[in-house]
Each structure stands twice: as structure tokens, then as C-alpha cells.
A and B are shown apart, each in its own frame.
Chain A
Amino acid sequence: MDHGTGIVFDAQPSWNVRVNEDRAGVALDRDAVLMLRVRDGDEASFGLLLQRHRGPLFHFLCRMVQNQAVAEELAQEVFLRVFRSRSSYEPTAKFTTWLFRIATHLALNSLRDGKKERLQDSLDEETSDGTGRQLADRGRSIEQEMLYQARLREVREAINGLPAKQRAAVLMHKYDEMEYSQIARVLHCSESAVKSLLFRAYESLRFALAHMARNQEA
């Protein structure tokens, strides 16, 4: 597909690449193979990587910064950086580790730089860009829908209340199903530090959302 840029991205590459399993001492995952092809000038492989990872990456960023426009901008920046640094790419870790490392770095910077403005935006945007209403189940009654939205808002606020690093760890663990070791590589810390982050984060969340469970029981 030509996106009006003169670059053709959706040609399906043939899978006849010789995978050098000794490279960096790890077997290359499919993404790393694609990225190596991008490094060698195959731009169609970049299109495949984009197709595979744009969704999860965007959702992660969206939950991190809780602002759809900012999350899209950050996701664009992540893929731009991936493409720009293609020539120096070495598959020393899983591709997704690298991708989420860039994303987390950008998200943490964004949260640090625009915390105050975003706090207001995130409250306003619920009605403007639909972040808070995206889950509307058409089968729900108005009352159920309102209850559901209130519950969702509480979940978002509870996540928002976590320190940024704990938030990133929880999101990667819960929604991207990453293992502790991979989260540790993304966050540049030890596995036991990740366990500690998650332990504290889930404890805070259980405490923050405990009343939801009580209300449901009532």
C-alpha cells in the first residue's frame, strides 16, 4: 500500500531469512527478524512490525498518560525512533522489550513534563475524545451504563494515582502479559525490584478499589 509518501509498506516478505540463532546468544524472535530486515533496507518489514505492535503499544501509552491524543503522538514518536535507529539495531533482547523501553521512556518524560496540564485534560477528555466512554456496551441500560462508567472512572483514577514506574509495571504485567524478567529489562531494574513494584502497586490498587467490591456486595 502506498500511503501517499512513495513508500510501499505492505508487501509480504517471504520467510526465507536465515535466522542466526547465535547472534547475541539468543534465538531471534519473529519481530527481531523483521527488524533486521528493516535494517537491511526492507521497508515492507517495518509495515509488518507496525501492524503487529501499534495496537498494544498505543493501548499501553493510552493507559499510561490517560490522554488519547498524547498517547497517539507518543506512539508515533516510538515508531519514528525505531525507524530512525534501524541502521544501528542489534537484537540483544526481544524486540518488544526495546519497543516498550522507548515507549516507557517517552511516557515517563511526558508525565513528568506535562503532569499538571494533563491532569486537567484527562478529566475533560472523557467527554471530548471518548477515552472514558469507549467501552459503552450497547446492550446495557442507561443506569447500568452510568454505573459502569463510574466504575471505569474509579479504575482509571486508581491507576493514575500510582507512581509512574509502578503504573508502567502494572500495565505491562496486566495488559501486555509480560514476564517479570522482561518488565525488569524495560524498566532497567532487577526482577526482584519489579516484584516489589508490583506488590506495592497491587496493594495500593486493592486498597483504592476495595469500596467497589463492597458496593457490589451490597
Chain B
Amino acid sequence: MECPSKSAESSELLIAYVEGSLDRIAERAFERHLDTCQRCREMAASQRELWAALDSWAPVQISPDFDQRLYRRLAEDRIPQPWWQRLLSADWTWRPAMPLAAACIALIAGFMLREPGPGPVQTVVIQPHGPQIEQVESALQDLEMLNQMGLPSSQGNTAREKM
């Protein structure tokens, strides 16, 4: 038998001996070891004293209204809470997936809210109405020519009307 004073594994024997949970054969074997091992005898004696000291720590009585308070809280649990209260009261910290999910949401939101870069410049090409400009130009030329020839202004008016 390995000496129980030397390792955690074998100290189980000593603890079990003191608490009286060894079967008869193991108990006898351990007592034979105790006859030859001074250190184990001392340990067994001090473990026995410790056991007695721990036994003296009897429990306190629970409050008589413990159940009542618990049932009240259980009943309150059944009243549906608004979503924001549920969110606030939820115990987020113990769920390992929560920080990961939060990081994913932040990442996606970051991508979505990122400022758009300079896109392709759209040039607006104004297509002038070709025939109209030509008409104006020819009318102006006519007017100029008539002026030079000294024709009456009624002709000029007609030309202006054309415009």
C-alpha cells in the first residue's frame, strides 16, 4: 500500500478511513499500515479532529418565507415583459456565442454604413436641337444681309417672327 500521506491519490484512503466509509477489508489493511507509519497515524488523528471541528458547524435555518418569495418571483416571470426589459434582464455574459454574434453584427453594420467611395462620374450631355440653332443662325444672317441692302424693316420683323 502506498503511504496515504504522500499523494493526493492515496490520501483518499485516509479521508475515507476517518469518515468511516471504507469497507471492512480496506479498513483492516489501512489499520495495519497505521501500525507501521507514524506520519499516517498523526495525519489520521488530525484529520479526525478536523472532521469533528467541521461537524460543529451546523447550518442556519432558512427563512420561513423562502418558498413564498420564490413562488412570487416565478409568478412575476409569467407576466410578459416588454422586449427592452427582456433584453436588459437577459444574462448575456454566460453565453459564449453572444460576444461572437455581437462582433458579427458590428462587422456587418460597419460594412453597410461605410461611406461610399467616388463612383463613376456621370456627365450630362445636353443635346442641342440642331434645326432650331440653324434656323436662328440663318435668320440672323438674313437680317444682317437685309440691313446691308437697306430693305424696309417689315421684312426684318417677318424674319424675327420666324425665329
Contacts and interface: CB of A to CB of B under 8 A. Distances in A.
Interface in B56-99: 56-63, 66-75, 77
A155 B50 CA distance: 9
A142 B59 CA distance: 21
Majority secondary structure, A binding face: helix
B74 A72 contact: no
B15 A198 contact: yes
Interface stretch (A19-27, A57-65, A87-95): A57-65
B101 interface: no
Interface residues of A, number: 50
B137 interface: no
Interface stretch (A28-36, A114-122, A201-209): A201-209
Interface residues of B, number: 33
Interface in B14-63: 15, 43, 46-47, 49-51, 53-54, 56-63
Nearest to A3: B71
Interface centre among A3, A58, A196, by most chain B C-beta atoms within 10 angstroms, is A3
A210 B62 CA distance: 31
Interface of B: 7-9, 11-12, 15, 43, 46-47, 49-51, 53-54, 56-63, 66-75, 77
